[in-house]
Amino acid sequence: MCGRVVTASGPEELSEYLGADAIVDVLDGPDHNVAPSRHLPLAWTSIGDGQGDGRRLLGTARWGLVPSWAKDPAIGDRMFNARAETVADKPSFRAAFRRRRCLVAVDGFYEWGPGPTTPTGRPSRQPWFIHRADGHPLVLAGLWERRVDEPRTCSIITVPANGDLSPVHHRMPAVLEPDEWDAWLDADDPNRSELESLLAPAADGTLSRHPVDRRVNNARNKGAELMDLVEPAPADAPSPAPDQGALW
């Protein structure tokens, strides 16, 4: 995906929705075009951090997980997602998978997919806004880490695309439903196979999508109008070069 996520819901709204016991950090405000290396809202279970063990906390984290052993924090620039198929074993993520799982809450994300075919037969690219069909925030399976130089960094876990997204892209973030949140955040180190069973494509019909303006490709462009439905770009319109690597 050459796209962005949307973080428009306020902390009080997210706290109530996610069942958080306390808010420890908040974003600067709504952002309708968030790129990796910026901050995302997330909830996690407090363990050994002096904030009350077992409580569900709502805060923020820099998007791009930096493992505790990494000498250069720039490694996080490549760690903004983690594949479900390898997350339990890959050195960059396995410690967080065991003990530091989180819920990343966003209002939607942008995905670039096939657009109309040009007169010469070349496929064009079209950005889409993807969100929950029921209007609730998207709660994604994530991992987080803590370092001295950054209170929290995080990564979003990805899975194969479901039927809602497969016409646009072959992968998607792992969406967790409310009855799965407790199991994902379980601080008692639950069985690995039980955790992995939660990392599955969302049921068809969970997501909705519509085409949006190509301005979302530039992370400097902001504003809620970026989510607005537009007519797909003409087949012969030039596709701007992406300024962000594949997201999922």
Query: What pLDDT, in 10s, does the model give residues 108-154?
Result: 999 999 877 777 777 778 999 999 999 999 999 999 999 877 889 99
Q: What is the DSSP letter of 205?
A: T
Number of H helices, E strands in the chain: 4, 13
pLDDT for the residue 123: 74
What would the mean pLDDT of 220-235 be, rounded to a whole number?
88
Any domain includes 101? yes
DSSP-derived 3-state class of residue 14:
helix
Structural domain includes residue 166: yes
> Which residue in the block uniquely carries the two structure tokens 């290396």?
37
Q: Cα angle at 106 between 103 and 112, to 5 degrees? A: 120
Phi and psi angles of residue 178, each rounded to the nearest 5 degrees, phi first = -50, -35
In a domain? residue 135: yes
- Give the closest residue to 101 by CA, choosing from 51, 155, 63: 155
Residue 236 lies in a domain: no
Q: Bridge-partner residues for 40, per DSSP?
A: 61
Residues 18-59: tens digit of each pLDDT: 999 999 999 999 999 999 999 999 999 997 665 567 899 999
Tell me the two tokens of residue 203: 């049921």
The count of structural domains within the chain is 1
Q: Tell me whether residue 241 is in a domain.
A: no
Would 163 be classed as within a structural domain?
yes
Q: Is 243 a domain residue?
A: no
Task: Specify if 165 maps to a domain.
Answer: yes
Average pLDDT over residues 64-79: 90
What pLDDT, on the 0 to 100 scale, is given for residue 221?
Answer: 95
Q: What is the pLDDT of residue 237?
A: 61
Instruction: Answer for the pair 150, 64: CB distance below 8 angstroms, yes or no.
Output: no
> Residue 170: which CATH number?
3.90.1680.10
Provide the β-strand partners of residue 147: 150
Mean pLDDT computed over 84-101? 95
Give residue 35's domain range. 5-227
